[in-house]
Amino acid sequence: MHTSFTHPDLPARSVLDALAAAGFEMGAPSVVTRVVIDTFDGRLHDAGLRLEQHAGAVDELVLSGPVGAPAAHLAWSKPAPSLGHHLPPGPFRERVASRSQERALLPLLTLTTHTRVVSRRDRRGKATVAVVVHDRPTLAEHLAELPTWVAEVVGVAGHDDAFAGAIARLSMLGLVAAEGDMVGVVAGAAGVSLKGRTSSPTVPLAPSDDALLAYRAVLANLAHTIDDNLPGTVADTDPEFLHELRVAVRRTRSVLNQAKGVLPDDVREHFAAAFGHLGTVTSPARDLDVYVLGWSAMVAPLQLPDPRVLDRVRKEIERRRNSAYVTLAKELSGPTCRGTLDAWRAWLADPAVEPASPRPIGPVMARRIAKAQAVVLAHGRAITPASPPEALHDLRKDAKKLRYLLECFGGLLPTKPRKAFVSQLKALQDNLGDHQDAEVQLAELRTLAHDLHKRAKADTDALLAMGRLSDLLDRRRQKERDAFVDRFASYDTKANRAALAALLADAEAV
Amino acid sequence: MKVAATYSIKGGVGKTSTAVNLAFEAARGGARVLVWDLDPQGAATFLFRVRPKVRGGSRGLVGVGGELAPHVRGSDLSPVHVVPADFSLRHLDLHLEGTAQPTARLAALLDPLREHYDLALLDCPPSISLASESVFGAADALLVPVVPATLAARTLTQLVDFLDDQVDAPIVLPILSMVDRRRRMHKELVESLAADWPELLSTAIPAAAVIERMGLERAPVGVTAPTSPATRAYRSLWAEVAARLWTSS
């Protein structure tokens, strides 16, 4: 039971005084720092849990949720664990690690408050309700305007009357009830998501905005995402950092390639090539990440009598993946990549960059999206059962280009129909992506089998199992290939084409 | 949720102090704990400062249509909740008897709360009865305090013999309780118990004034004497119990 209150004008002191006058017992003041921790993709949040590290009067990890259950507290004064499996054995670890699995636990938000707990007790001396007053909240690395204080009423099971009484007392002071607990209220005010580390490629735009300025806003947002994910990639903290970085790099490249006539040619060509290089150097590590992350699911259908048969193969893939990361870290910290990113940031921040002849972004983008769609349709329609796998791979790239424009410049388009159209496109992309993943993994597995055989590092059982795995991947690849016809037909419908035309109409009309 | 019961056929061996202090240590170690006081004396209820009142009496608690959730009370140790006892629990056997499956009744009552707690600790009265059998049906482990006295091992043998005939019986974890190592007889009995009972947990709970004072302080020793040998013993005991209950973690 939690209800929060705040007020823009009343000081926190007035709440404390009112509660003290009503017989509440005043606790000692303390400065508490809370760090909200989750995996990159918010797995704990998705499971209805929130993990926080508290430092102050009590040093502990607190795991709250599901609704109605008491929060779990684990005495903890060390730095936060980087993996769920690093927690001590017991139910706390079981609940965290079963959700976070192999993903790193990352700080999402750091919040400091001057906290005071006031409680009402019954005649046995037991607390029946507590009001936690969090004064002067500050968020690390955020300058957003926050509530000056938040008071949380925390109920005690079996004492509903005391809970209702405390709420009534605070309501009488004219306080404003706020949704969620203190962390939720402050995060909401600061616009910080507690659903993991999310970054959106979409920036607010209007169709009448100047095209060059709009492109620069989109590209600056992507540059911010690259910067955000670079340290985690270099440190190999979690595979999602590299994934997010690569997506931002691809989006940047795609936007640059669609910027002809808007960005100066020399800038566009130079950076498109530089980001192309950045994409290339990050590929091997990502391909091997996909392999490692999907390994268990991939080998499960083999139903091997002894799964250890493939241990050496798995370890070899992991070794290659780790080695690829070492190479990647050197590349990303080297002069070429650093030079690219430094020069890119400098150009994006250069106030002297101005449009030669201003023109609105709306019609420019509507035409480019329509053209990207035309390319997807033409290439997709040209694919036959006899087409080589590269044709599907090329179509996948075309679909990505379209998707990136729809997302990066999504601020120009109405949200709901845009998302509906993107979900149709995504269904096609999923098919093409699964086909491509199977192709890449099949090729990697064949190379690996040859290498291990040549170096006498795989016994007969392992080679046989790799053969079965290869067969499995080949069948998966074929299955996706067979599914392509229907998947593309579902995308290439009259209704879907009309939906995109309607989506672009307003932007085009400026 | 794992279910453990502090249980002994014998009285005055430290069941309640074990339940209350283990609940505190389990909570400190990251577990959400529900202490269910099944003893009509309500000693655990008293130590947690919870009002000794069972709405509807033992019939309302365990009888047909009964639910556990409305009886749950918070304590001053935030992740420890308590289902209190009162004197009506002297009729527990009678009201269990009236249900369709009395020996599965306590497990059925705990079942809806499985997602809310990691550990349910059942503090049992000293007896062997229908309620005890229902406890055996619900529990993953019986934590059996054994005092270093000549007849103590006998009641443990009686319990183990009884459970030998049960299907899905809980594991029995004997715990040395009220040990005074300055006394030669205690030392000798501890050694012989350890030799006879390999399941005996290695932590021995000392006979200590801080434990006796729990009735005055109405709080676990971890709160009133956090650095005392008794607190260290309960912390170590919880580590052993947790390792046995969460072996897969």
CB atoms within 10 A of CB A387: 15
- A220 and A168 within one domain: no
pLDDT confidence of residue B180 = 87
CB atoms within 10 A of CB B134: 26
pLDDT confidence of residue A353 = 85
pLDDT confidence of residue B249 = 43
Residue B118: list chain A partners with CB under 8 A: 72, 90-92, 94-95
Omega prior to A66 cis, within 30 of 0: yes
More confident residue, B165 or A143: B165
Task: Identify whether the C-beta of residue A2 lies closer than 8 Å to the C-beta of residue A152.
Answer: yes
* Pairing mode, strands B119-123 and A176-178: unpaired
Segment A418-453, tens digit of pLDDT: 999 999 999 999 999 999 989 888 888 888 888 888
CB atoms within 10 A of CB A212: 21
Phi, psi at B16, each rounded to 5°? -70, -45
How many CA atoms lie less than 13 Å away from A364 in the CB half-sphere? Answer: 22
CA A427/CA B191 separation, integer angstroms: 69
Average pLDDT over residues A378-393: 94
- Candidates B117, B87, B92, B90; CA nearest to B105 is B92
Bin A187: left if φ > 0, else alpha if -120 < ψ < 50, else beta.
alpha
- Candidates A86, A348, A329; CA nearest to A217 is A348
Task: Give residue A149's pLDDT band: very low, low, confident or very high (50, 70, 90).
Answer: very high
CA A323/CA A316 separation, integer angstroms: 10
pLDDT confidence of residue A374 = 97
Q: Is residue A202 part of a domain?
A: no
Task: Identify whether the C-beta of residue A18 lies closer than 8 Å to the C-beta of residue A173.
Answer: yes
Lowest mean pLDDT among A65-79, A223-237, A450-464: A450-464
- A233 and A178 within one domain: no
| A-B contacts at Cβ under 8 angstroms | 98
pLDDT confidence of residue A463 = 84
CA A231/CA B176 separation, integer angstroms: 53
* Interchain proximity B75–A72, CB inside 8 Å: no
pLDDT at A458 exceeding the cut of 90: no
Residue A159: list chain B partners with CB under 8 A: 73-74
* Interchain proximity B74–A158, CB inside 8 Å: yes
Output the six-digit token pair for B93. 């056997």
Average pLDDT over residues A276-290: 94
The answer, for B246 touching chain A at a CB cutoff of 8 Å, is yes
The ipTM, to two decimals, is 0.87
- A95 and A34 within one domain: yes
Segment B23-60, tens digit of pLDDT: 999 999 999 999 999 999 999 999 999 999 999 999 99
pLDDT confidence of residue A297 = 82
pLDDT at A457 exceeding the cut of 90: no
For chain B, the three-class secondary structure string (H helix, E strand, C coil) is: CEEEEECCCCCCCCHHHHHHHHHHHHHHECCCEEEEECCCCCHHHHHCCCCCCCCCHHHHHHCCCCCCHHHCEECCCCCEEEECCCHHHHHHHHHHHCCCCHHHHHHHHHHHHCCCCCEEEEECCCCCCHHHHHHHHHCCEEEEEECCCCCHHHHHHHHHHHHHCCCCCCEEEEEEEEECCCCHHHHHHHHHHHHHCCCCCCCEEECCHHHHCHHHHCCCHHHHCCCCHHHHHHHHHHHHHHHHHCCCC
The answer, for A124 touching chain B at a CB cutoff of 8 Å, is yes
- A225 and A178 within one domain: no
pLDDT confidence of residue B46 = 96
* Interchain proximity A95–B246, CB inside 8 Å: no
Average pLDDT over residues B110-116: 95
Q: Is residue A203 part of a domain?
A: no
pLDDT at A305 exceeding the cut of 80: no
pLDDT at A75 exceeding the cut of 80: yes
CA B198/CA B192 separation, integer angstroms: 11
Q: What range does the domain containing B61 cover?
A: 2-245
The number of domains in chain B is: 1
Q: Is residue A205 part of a domain?
A: no
Task: Give residue A129's pLDDT band: very low, low, confident or very high (50, 70, 90).
Answer: very high
- A495 and A464 within one domain: yes
The answer, for A94 touching chain B at a CB cutoff of 8 Å, is yes
DSSP state of A47: T
Tell me the sheet residues that pair with B142.
Answer: B5, B172
More confident residue, B48 or A463: B48
- A residues 320-349 closer than 8 Å to B (CB): none
3-state class of A244 per DSSP?
helix
Average pLDDT over residues A154-172: 92
Q: What is the CATH number of the domain that holds B241?
A: 3.40.50.300
Q: What is the CATH number of the domain that holds A17?
A: 2.40.320.10
| Cα A297–chain centre separation | 22
Cα torsion A175, A180, A182, A186 to 10°: value is: -90
Output the six-digit token pair for A467. 């053969």
pLDDT confidence of residue A309 = 80
Residue A1: list chain B partners with CB under 8 A: none
Lowest mean pLDDT among A192-196, A420-424, B102-106, B130-134: A192-196
**E strand or H helix that includes residue A240:** helix A239-257
Please list, residue by residue across B49-87, b when 16 or more beta carbons sit within 10 angstroms of its beta carbon and e when fewer do: bbbbebeebbbbbbbeebebeebbbbbbbbbbbbbbbbe
Q: Is residue A14 part of a domain?
A: yes
- A455 and A421 within one domain: yes
- A420 and A282 within one domain: yes
pLDDT at A145 exceeding the cut of 90: no
- A248 and A125 within one domain: no
Q: Alpha-carbon torsion B110, B116, B117, B121, what sign?
A: negative
| Single pTM value for the model | 0.79
pLDDT confidence of residue A32 = 96
Nearest residue in B to A85, CA atom: B249
- A229 and A141 within one domain: no
Q: Is residue A183 part of a domain?
A: yes
More confident residue, B5 or B184: B5
3-state class of A409 per DSSP?
coil
Q: Scan for tokens 């965290």, then name that residue.
A: A96
Average pLDDT over residues A384-402: 94
The answer, for A92 touching chain B at a CB cutoff of 8 Å, is yes
pLDDT confidence of residue A183 = 92
CA distance A132 to chain B (A): 14
The answer, for B55 touching chain A at a CB cutoff of 8 Å, is no
Q: What range does the domain containing A399 cover?
A: 211-508
Average pLDDT over residues B151-176: 88
pLDDT confidence of residue B154 = 84
The number of domains in chain A is: 2
pLDDT at B220 exceeding the cut of 90: yes
pLDDT at A508 exceeding the cut of 90: no
Average pLDDT over residues B9-17: 92
- A468 and A427 within one domain: yes
CA A308/CA A315 separation, integer angstroms: 11
Average of per-residue pLDDT values in chain A:
91
Q: Scan for tokens 């023109």, then name that residue.
A: A359
Q: Is residue A206 part of a domain?
A: no
DSSP state of A85: G
Q: Is residue A421 part of a domain?
A: yes
- A113 and A160 within one domain: yes
Percent of chain A at pLDDT > 70 equals 99
**E strand or H helix that includes residue A135:** strand A127-139
Output the six-digit token pair for A287. 């391909």
Q: Is residue A148 part of a domain?
A: yes
Segment A476-503, tens digit of pLDDT: 999 999 999 999 999 999 999 999 999 9
Orientation of helix A160-172 relative to helix A12-21, angle to 10°:
130
Task: Identify whether the C-beta of residue A398 lies closer than 8 Å to the C-beta of residue A372.
Answer: yes
Average pLDDT over residues A153-165: 93
* Interchain proximity A90–B76, CB inside 8 Å: no
